[in-house]
Structure 1
């Protein structure tokens, strides 16, 4: 396995994070209803974390001698996560977060396995850290939906 395959997958992850980030911003801005304060703050926490992860993924791509995607056209084309619009409902927004996190986790696990096979400890460690955090967030979001 060469760096190009890992770089390609990391660029898909970068695109997914950009769409996930924008979805979260939309939820933060547009949330309405009895859970407004709780979810407004949670979505801000999540998009702030996503912005950090976006930077880490882009820097990892550069570290392994790749070029990170950096246009919205590229993000839309490469992402496996769909953008959502005009979601005001707490339950629908949290369900979307759950779906987006599942997609991110699936790709991160795939990248981690690729990195293990390639002996790319840095990418493996980064994915492990992301997976640990997101599994907990996924559990919390699913608990909120019950």
Structure 2
């Protein structure tokens, strides 16, 4: 909620990454995230998802890359994921990270994949129904989605 002590920060994505992840996580819903308007052909739910995914991956890299260019999500612990989620909660969202073996994935397939089939996204498609999946080492599949913090 905005008040006389609300602090406004201008900058690009890198500036925001540093602002968010360079100190201990702030209280839930304490940082107001303002996004640019989506392109004309991008639904708002997908736009929010894409921005949150970029924040999530930038946070993984900022916190856990240790000077490398990238982070292998398979090398992060559940405590690392929980830590990133504290930062995501400060902007009013929760990151849902599911991990599957190939066999488990076959029992947990989720359709439609709105991230792959963007044309299926409607104005009333829920943020939590949009997800990104990545396969690591041909053996593990990670599904990342987001929802509004309740």
| Common fold: TM-score over 0.5 | no
* Larger RCO, structure (CA 8 Å, separation 6 or more): 1
Greater strand proportion: 2
TM-score norm. by structure 2 comes to 0.29
Q: Which has the larger radius of gyration?
A: 2
TM-score norm. by structure 1 comes to 0.29
